Amino acid sequence: MTDSETHDELFPSVTSDPAYQLCHTLTAHTRSITALKFSPDDSLLVSAGADGWLHFWEPMTGEHLRGFLAHKAGVNDISISLDSLYVATASDDSTSVVYLLNPPQGVAYQPPTLLQVPATYPGEQQESKPQAATEPASPSTHGFSHPAIRRFVGHTAPILSVAFSPKSNLLATSSFDESAIIWDVRRNSELWRIPAHADAIWCVAWDTDGEMILTASADGLIRLWDANSGQCLKTIDNDSNSPVSHAAFTRPSSFLYSSTLSSKLRIYNIHSGKAIRTFRAPGMFSSERWACPVIIVEAPSSFMESNESPHQQHSSEEIYLEKDNKEKESKTKSNPAYPKRSFVREARIIAGSENGKIMIWNIQSKQVTQILEGKDSHTTPVTALAVSSDARIVASGSLEMSAVIKIWKSGS
C-alpha cells in the first residue's frame, strides 16, 4: 500500500468487529500515564507514570494490587522479562532500574538465583558521586518490598525506551542522548554502546530470536543492528523523513511496524526495507506532536501463504494474507499446535491518537474495524497502550490530568 492510494483505501468505512467496550477506569497515578505492559501470562498489568511510580493491577477486575515509587523523576517506559521475573524502567533521571515483578510478601528479600545478584552490587559501596536524586526509593506497600536489584547508569540524558531480550539476560535502553546501550543484566555491566542516530532515540526493540535490535529515532530513521556485534545491518527511512515515534518487530520477525509524526503507520519487510502497508485515517487519527503508541495483534507473516517466503522482496500486492476466517478456525480445531489465542481471526493494528481516540485497523482488509471513543474515553493524546496476549483486553493511558487508565474488553 502506498501513499498515493485513494482516500477510500486509506480510510474505509468502520465495521463492527471487534467489539471492545470500556469496562474499567483505574486511578492511582498523580501525573500522566507513560507506559503500560501486561505480564506474559496476562495475570498482571503494570503501569508507569510521569510521577515516577509503578502500579500493579489485576487486569480482569481492575483491582489495584500494589504500587511503589520507582524513580524520583518520571518513568517513560517499562519492560517485563519474558520469564515474568523482572520489570525494568526507563527514567527521566537517565537511569534504568530492574525490580522483581512479583516480590515476596512479608518475608526478608532474597536475591534471585537466575541473575546471581550479589548482596551488594559491584562498585556500589565505592560509589562516591552524589546520585541521591537519581536513585529510586524502595518503599513497601501492601506488605511487598521492592528493592532495586539492578541499576544501570550510563546515559547522559533521559532514557526514553527499555526492552528485555527474549532470554531476559540482556537489556536495551535508548535515550535523548542519541545512543542505545546494551546491558548484561547478569553481570550488571554495559556490553556495548551504539551511537546510533543524529537525534533522540524514541524506541528500542528486540526481534523474537534476540539476534537483532531495532532503534527508531526522531531523525526519521529506523536502524537494525546485530545484537552480538553491534554492527548496523540496515537503515530504513520513510518518505517524509518524519520522526519515528514507535517501532517494533512482528512475531516472527520478518516484518516491523512503525508510527511517525506524520499520522502514518507503516509495516515494512525487513529484508527489502520497503513499506508493504501504510495506514492513515484523515480527520480521525492524528499523531503530529506526541509519540502515540501502536501495537500489532498477531503478526502479518503468520497469515502468509505457505509457498511465500518472508525473505523475498514483496510489494503490497504480493503479500497474501489469510483469505478465509473459517479456514483458520478449522485449523485451530484440528491442529493442537496452532496457538490457542488464535481467536484473533485476522491481524489488527491498534494505535492511540492525539485526539484521545484508539483506532483499530484490520491489516488484511485495510478497514477500520473499531474506534474506541465515547463520553468516558480519553480526551487528550493517548500515550500508553497495551494488549493482552489473547487480545481480549486493551489498556490505555493518556496525558489527562486525572491520570486514569482505561480498560477495554472484547467478548469475541
pLDDT in tens, 202-217: 999 999 999 999 999 9
Once rounded to an integer, what is the mean pLDDT over residues 286-300? Answer: 73
Cα–Cα distances in angstroms (integers) from residue 371 to residues 22, 267, 349, 411, in the given order: 12, 20, 12, 16
Once rounded to an integer, what is the mean pLDDT over residues 34-54? Answer: 97
Once rounded to an integer, what is the mean pLDDT over residues 80-84? Answer: 96
Residue whose cell numbers read 491518537: 353
Are 55 and 29 spatial neighbours (Cβ–Cβ below 8 Å)?
A: yes
Total Cβ atoms within 10 A of residue 47: 27
Q: Bigger pLDDT: 144 or 327?
A: 144
pLDDT of residue 145: 62
Tell me what percent of the residues of the chain surpass a pLDDT of 90: 52
164-173, 296-305, 403-412: which is most confident: 164-173
Once rounded to an integer, what is the mean pLDDT over residues 322-331? Answer: 35
Once rounded to an integer, what is the mean pLDDT over residues 370-382? Answer: 89
pLDDT of residue 101: 94
Residue 320, judged by CB atoms within 10 A of its CB (0-12, 13-18, 19+), counts as middle
Select the CATH number that applies to the domain covering 7-410 from these four: 2.130.10.10, 3.40.50.261, 3.40.718.10, 3.40.50.300. Answer: 2.130.10.10
Are 383 and 356 spatial neighbours (Cβ–Cβ below 8 Å)?
A: no
Q: H-type helices in 3-89, by residue range?
A: 7-10
Once rounded to an integer, what is the mean pLDDT over residues 59-65? Answer: 96
pLDDT of residue 113: 39
Pairwise CA distance, residues 87 & 309, whole Å: 36
Once rounded to an integer, what is the mean pLDDT over residues 161-186? Answer: 96
pLDDT for 31 beyond 90: yes
pLDDT of residue 78: 98
pLDDT of residue 121: 30
pLDDT for 100 beyond 80: yes
- Binned at pLDDT 50, 70 and 90, residue 45 comes out as very high
pLDDT of residue 290: 78
Average of per-residue pLDDT values in the chain:
78
DSSP 12: P
Total Cβ atoms within 10 A of residue 123: 9
pLDDT for 284 beyond 90: no
Cell of 366: 485495510
pLDDT for 175 beyond 90: yes
Question: Strand, helix or coil at 385?
Answer: strand
Once rounded to an integer, what is the mean pLDDT over residues 385-392? Answer: 93
Q: Bigger pLDDT: 146 or 354?
A: 354
Are 405 and 33 spatial neighbours (Cβ–Cβ below 8 Å)?
A: yes
Q: H-type helices in 224-364, by residue range?
A: 325-334
pLDDT of residue 240: 78
- Residue 276 CA to its chain's centroid (Å): 21
Residue 393, strand partner residues: 409
Cell of 114: 537466575
Buried b (16+ CB within 10 A) or exposed e, 67-87: bbbbbbbbbbbbbbbbeebbb
One-letter amino acid for residue 235 of the chain: T
Pairwise CA distance, residues 261 & 264, whole Å: 7
pLDDT of residue 18: 57
Are 92 and 71 spatial neighbours (Cβ–Cβ below 8 Å)?
A: yes
Once rounded to an integer, what is the mean pLDDT over residues 109-120? Answer: 38
**Phi and psi dihedrals of 91, rounded to 5?**
-125, 160
pLDDT of residue 133: 30
Cell of 131: 546520585
- Binned at pLDDT 50, 70 and 90, residue 126 comes out as very low
**Phi and psi dihedrals of 317, rounded to 5?**
-75, -20
- pTM of structure: 0.78
Are 100 and 149 spatial neighbours (Cβ–Cβ below 8 Å)?
A: yes
Total Cβ atoms within 10 A of residue 409: 16
* 358-362/368-372 β-pairing: antiparallel
* 264-269/275-279 β-pairing: antiparallel
- Binned at pLDDT 50, 70 and 90, residue 142 comes out as low
- Binned at pLDDT 50, 70 and 90, residue 257 comes out as very high
